[in-house]
Copies of this chain bind each other. A is one copy, B any other.
Amino acid sequence: MADFDLKKYLSERKKLVDNALKELLPAPTGLEKKVLEAARYSLFAGGKRLRPILCLGAADVVGGKMEEVLPVACALEMIHTYSLIHDDLPAMDDDDFRRGKPTCHKIFGEAIAILAGDALLTEAFDVTASVRALQSFPSERIVEAMGLMARASGHRGMVGGQVIDLECENQEADLATVEYMHVRKTGALLTASLEVGASLGGGTPEQIAALKHYGQHFGLAFQITDDILDVEGEAHEMGKTPGSDLASNKRTYPALLGLSRSREAARENVEAAVQALAPFRGEAEPLRAIARYLLVRRA
């Protein structure tokens, strides 16, 4: 697997997820169609599909059938998109642009944006409950997947992280607080993506634990490199104003540790993530490559 082509892998998986998402989220009809238009607008605004790709990758690693896990992988992207829509709202981070495009509420208004987020969040659970009809998975594993998704999304996960992010604005925060926040705001759903993929793929408890461990370190490395990118900021590639997190006084790794120590921390977490995959062989090569890619990504 020395010649593993990550770029091709990511592009193929992204296409797979995009197509599945288009089929899963119904075309807008009915008097309520505006909310689905808004949901689709944000869902197809250029996401990298990282969470679904990690979920599918975890299913691969444990020998699961990737196509059967695909709807649930898409559900994870719906949850991610819901969180972006709500985080961007005027009452929250008040962002006008994301990935270079106007945010949902700038196009559809605040009310529809709130409801589009609500719709995506609930649709994720509907989609996941519906895979029971495929009869590919034991129902226990579906219940477990939904529990993992709910915990990663709610006050124990993303909601909690966003609350802390809002509370810390314009305040001093130490490294422990920043990490506590990121583990919830970004790490929880990334980790859940791996656990869900591993569980639905039929992994053993040990395999699921190993992939969860990978996810935890991956999540931290992801956030640290995200902070570093923001500081080094290429406005064009990121689609947002460089240094904007520092400007609004948000606590970031480079602000707390300096750039050099932040890069080191990112490297350490990537190594720990790769190390967590030690029980697996070539089948885990994509997940190893994705983790290493965090250290060289430009966007």
Q: Are A122 and B92 in contact (CB under 8 A)?
A: no
A115 sits at the interface (CB 8 A): yes
Q: B-facing mask of A91-109, CB < 8 A → 1, else 0?
A: 1100000000000000001
* A167 surroundings in chain B (CB, below 8 A): 31, 34
CB closest chain-B residue, reference A153: B122
Interface residues of A in 143-192 (CB under 8 A from B): 143-144, 146-147, 149-151, 153-156, 159-164, 166-167, 177, 180-181, 184
The complex places the Cα of A121 from the Cα of B91 at a distance, in Å, of 19
Partner of A163, one of B35, B121, B129, B140: B35
Determine the interface band of chain A, counting residues with CB < 8 A from chain B: 35 or more
Contact A129 B147 (CB under 8 A): yes
Contacts of A130 in B (CB 8 A): 147
Which residues of chain B have C-beta atoms less than 8 A from A34's C-beta?
163, 167
Q: Is A142 an interface residue (CB 8 A)?
A: yes
Number of copies of this kind of chain in the complex? 2
Choose among B119, B140, B184 the residue that contacts A139 (Cβ–Cβ < 8 A). B140
Q: How far is the CA of A192 from the CA of B130 in the complex (A)?
A: 16
**Which listed residue (B111, B118, B121, B166) contacts A111, Cβ 8 A?**
B166
- Is the Cβ of A118 less than 8 Å from the Cβ of B163? no
Give the chain B neighbours of A36 by CB distance below 8 A.
155
Q: List 22 A-B contacts (CB under 8 A).
A: A31-B164, A31-B167, A31-B177, A32-B155, A34-B163, A35-B159, A86-B114, A89-B111, A91-B110, A112-B163, A115-B159, A122-B155, A123-B150, A125-B146, A126-B147, A129-B146, A129-B147, A138-B139, A139-B140, A139-B142, A143-B143, A143-B146
